[in-house]
Chain A
Amino acid sequence: GAVVSQHPSWVICKSGTSVKIECRSLDFQATTMFWYRQFPKQSLMLMATSNEGSKATYEQGVEKDKFLINHASLTLSTLTVTSAHPEDSSFYICSATPDGAQPQHFGDGTRLSIL
């Protein structure tokens, strides 16, 4: 149980385009979802916390206008990287919790490469 699915697993796109990443909880309702960013050989850095039906809470230094998060249902959150540039290339990972409590269950991540 507690499966979190991310799509796509890998995306390559040109600089200036927008990319949407989906995070779904397959067998539970996720009141809270988290979005992380991970650079090669580094740790996970929390970008934002999203609660179903409300605006996401962004961590300090994360541009909310660049990284748009929508959590419109209890099983789906999306991260849209707007006007992506090469420096946005990274591994994006989401996690979800059934009722806001631990543990967090992670998706398998999305490898984003901006050319």
Chain B
Amino acid sequence: QQQVKQSPQSLIVQKGGISIINCAYENTAFDYFPWYQQFPGKGPALLIAIRPDVSEKKEGRFTISFNKSAKQFSLHIMDSQPGDSATYFCAASRGPAGNKLTFGGGTRVLVKP
């Protein structure tokens, strides 16, 4: 059972454009929602994370929007750059479960110059 569904699987955006990736979760006990960026041959690196007590969080060009009632959250990458070309994973966890992360399927983003 896939508890975190991520879309789209791939995304092509022009330099300077906005990349938008969406995730939906099923388990209402999740209380931590991070986004990770992964380059080929490397481990994931934390980009930004949010908890359900806020609806939006912004760090630089990256913004998470969170909709608790819809059980959805999204990542917006503003002013996308070729260096942003990577695979992005959303994830979710709940504290009592030992903080295990459940990952979405990933989105491969290609930013064209």
List A residues at the B interface (Cβ < 8 Å): 4, 6, 32, 34, 41-46, 49, 57, 93, 95, 97, 100-109, 111
Are B89 and A44 in touch, CB under 8 angstroms? yes
Are A43 and B105 in touch, CB under 8 angstroms? yes
Residues of A within 8 A of B105 (CB): 42-43
B46 located at the interface, meaning its Cβ lies under 8 Å from any Cβ of chain A in the complex: yes
17 inter-chain pairs at a CB distance below 8 angstroms, sorted by A residue, are: A34-B100, A43-B103, A44-B89, A49-B100, A95-B43, A95-B101, A100-B98, A100-B99, A101-B95, A101-B99, A102-B32, A102-B49, A104-B99, A106-B36, A106-B43, A106-B45, A108-B41
Interface of A, secondary structure class, is strand
Which of A44, A106, A107, A108 counts the most B-chain CB atoms under 10 A from its CB?
A44
Bound: A93/B43 CA distance, A: 7
